[in-house]
Amino acid sequence: MRTLRDRLQAGSDKPLHLLKGRVHEVEGRGRTGFALYHAARLAGPIFWIVLAHDHDRPMPGSLPEGVAERLHFIEARDETNLLWTVEEALRARPVSLVISAPEKPISLTAGRRLQLAAEAGGTTGLMLIQEGRGSNAAETRWKCDPLPSPLDSTRHRWILNKNKRGTIGIYDVSWNGTTVAVHLVPQAGERHQPEGPPR
């Protein structure tokens, strides 16, 4: 028998899932963490495409379990090659997730092409974009930031800013980055002081 707690937990991270076969965007300082959460959640090969002159690199030893083995890390010389590689990877069926960090804004044409490629391959795409450099073609746009909290050092605020087929929302989660399990932290119930004894 499923308890109420089970049902709450089972459905708890549903709103965080990305729609398969579409390209999504994420901005903010915590975008890499958000990408890794989805990398851990989805099974299958992951392609991570960056520009060669971008120095921020994932550190394989500390990624969520099982991600580093499935990761293909690609350095593209320039923006054109990066977009070409993303499109090729999205079009390939066995790939589960394509993460990419472009520098320039993605034009509407490029965004649409990526969507078509993702649809053809049934692959999820996630673009780590700079603030305000998204494309109108994106299925959802997230803004992710690590959240300082006096109690918890694994708190993140993932804000769904744009959603083509659903509601938007603000999610505070607690995720320590080892497994796929995240805890949605209710904002209203957040206490900054331990609860006092009942009167």
Partner 1 sequence: MLSIWFPRLASDISLRARPVEGPFALTLRASNAENLYCLNSTASAVGLHPGMPLADARAVCPVLSTRPADLIREGRALEGLRRWTSRYGPHAAKDGTDGLIVDVSGVPHLFGGEVELLADLEARLERAGVSSKSAIAETRGGAWALARRGGGVIPEGGLLSRLGPMPVSALRIEAPVAEGLTRLGLHKIVDLTAVPRAPLARRFGAELLRRLDQALGTQAEPVAAEADAPHFGVRMTLPEPIGLTADVMGVLDRLLVRLCDKLASAQMGARAVRLELQRVDRSAAVVDVGLARAMRDPVRISALFLKGVDEVDSGFGIDGLRLTATVTEPLAPEQIGNAQARAEDELSHLISRIGNRLGFDAVQRFLPASSRIPERSFLTVPAAYAAPEPFPPKRRPRRPITLFPAEALAQVSGSPPARFSWRRMAFTTLRAHGPERITPEWWFDNPAWRSGVRDYWRIETNEGPRLWLFRTPQSGSRDWYAQGVFL
Residue numbers at the binding site for partner 1 (CB under 8 A) = 29-30, 32-33, 36, 45, 52, 55-63, 65, 68-77, 81, 84-85, 88-89, 92-95, 145-148, 150, 153-154, 175-178
- Of the two residues 133 and 163, which places its CB atom closer to partner 1 in the complex? 133
- Of the two residues 33 and 134, which places its CB atom closer to partner 1 in the complex? 33
- Of the two residues 48 and 134, which places its CB atom closer to partner 1 in the complex? 48
Tokens of 184: 């949605």
Q: How far is the CB of 194 from partner 1 (least distance, A)?
A: 18
Q: How far is the CB of 44 from partner 1 (least distance, A)?
A: 8
Q: How far is the CB of 36 from partner 1 (least distance, A)?
A: 6
Q: How far is the CB of 167 from partner 1 (least distance, A)?
A: 25
21 C-beta neighbours (distance < 10 Å), count: 17
- Of the two residues 19 and 74, which places its CB atom closer to partner 1 in the complex? 74
Q: 84: burial class by Cβ within 10 Å (0-12, 13-18, 19+)?
A: middle
Tokens of 25: 């965007």
Residue 164: DSSP 8-state: T
CB burial readout 166-188, b (16+ within 10 A) else e: eeeeebbbbbebeeeebbbbeee
Tell me the residue type at 101.
A
